[in-house]
Amino acid sequence: MSGHLEDAVRRGCRFPAGVVASFPDAGQIIHCTAVNVSRSGALIVGAFTTPSAEPLELTLKTPNGLLSLTLPARIIRVTPDPDGNQLAVEFVDVDDVRRDRIEVFLARLLEAPQPGPLESLRPNAPPPEVKKALDAIPLPQRIALAQRAELKQREYLRQDQHPAVLEAVVRNPNLTLPEARAIAGLLGLPGTAIDLLAADPRFKNDEELRMALATQAKVLLPIAEKLTADLKPPQIRKLLARPGIHPTLREKLFKKMTRG
């Protein structure tokens, strides 16, 4: 095992894993997904109610199904999720044998990451296929992925309907100007994403982006005014021809243009 891998496991790093998980509850086996896994615990997501008994006998399986791990776990937090619940759990009664098994399990995850649903999409996949692939990824994992995704993955994640995912895409340090323009033109763009794009120094001089943001339905008037403050009459005429401008801003821009 390499020193890098040993260091990563030793630090107990928590990372998006997409690990198959299950636990028994009320006579049934509940199937779910472990979004994050570390030496001390996991975050599991699924369409289940809060378990009726503790500790959970949580079983984790690597994505290829070749290695499994069963551990007792204590629930430390329950968070409602659009698809059910999120459970943050802490592994308990971890003796030396279980500790070694956890390290082996994490090592397998780090050594052989499995391709996610987005990698299986063909180029120019239609929106229904993209939506299906996105829905197969738990929301916390989509958010984490969006903040570090490469260009191809960002192309699909920009189609995600969840505001938190769009915000995470906007925060991606590798976001390009064409991508920012595409996002700025999305219907229903959340206000937080508008504010982030408006304040991003990478794009502050792009006229097309500024106009698109200034005419977004959820843009705050002070932000729209700041975006359009230095526009010249020819640019103002282009902006006034667009729908969606706040009435107060429209009036101010019209007066500015008529003053020349």
User: Alpha carbon of 218 to those of 65, 98, 129, 224: distances in Å?
Assistant: 45, 51, 28, 10
Q: Which residues pair with residue 81 across a beta bridge? A: 84
pTM confidence score: 0.56
- The per-residue pLDDT for 66 is 75
Dihedral-angle region of residue 23 (phi above 0 means left; psi in -120 to 50 means alpha; beta otherwise):
beta
Tell whether omega for the bond before 55 is within 30 degrees of 0, i.e. cis. Answer: yes
pLDDT digits (tens, 9 = 90+) for 179-219: 999 999 998 888 999 999 999 999 988 999 999 999 999 99
In the predicted model, is pLDDT for residue 75 greater than 70?
Answer: yes
31 alpha carbon, distance to own chain's centre: 22
pLDDT digits (tens, 9 = 90+) for 242-259: 888 889 998 988 888 777
pLDDT digits (tens, 9 = 90+) for 14-42: 544 567 889 998 888 988 888 788 888 88
- The per-residue pLDDT for 158 is 92
- The per-residue pLDDT for 17 is 54
- The per-residue pLDDT for 120 is 73
SS3 readout for the chain: CCHHHHHHHHCCCCEEEEEEEEEEECCEEEEEEEEEECCCEEEEEECCCCCCCCCEEEEEECCCCCCEEEEEEEEEEEEEECCEEEEEEEECCCCHHHHHHHHHHHHHHHHCCCCCHHHHCCCCCCHHHHHHHHHCCCHHHHHHHHCCCCHHHHHHHCCCCCHHHHHHHHHCCCCCHHHHHHHHCCCCCCHHHHHHHHHCCCCCCCHHHHHHHHCCCCCCHHHHHHHHCCCCHHHHHHHHCCCCCCHHHHHHHHHHHHCC
Gyration radius from the chain CA atoms: 24
User: Alpha carbon of 29 to those of 22, 23, 58, 69, 253: distances in Å?
Assistant: 7, 6, 10, 16, 63
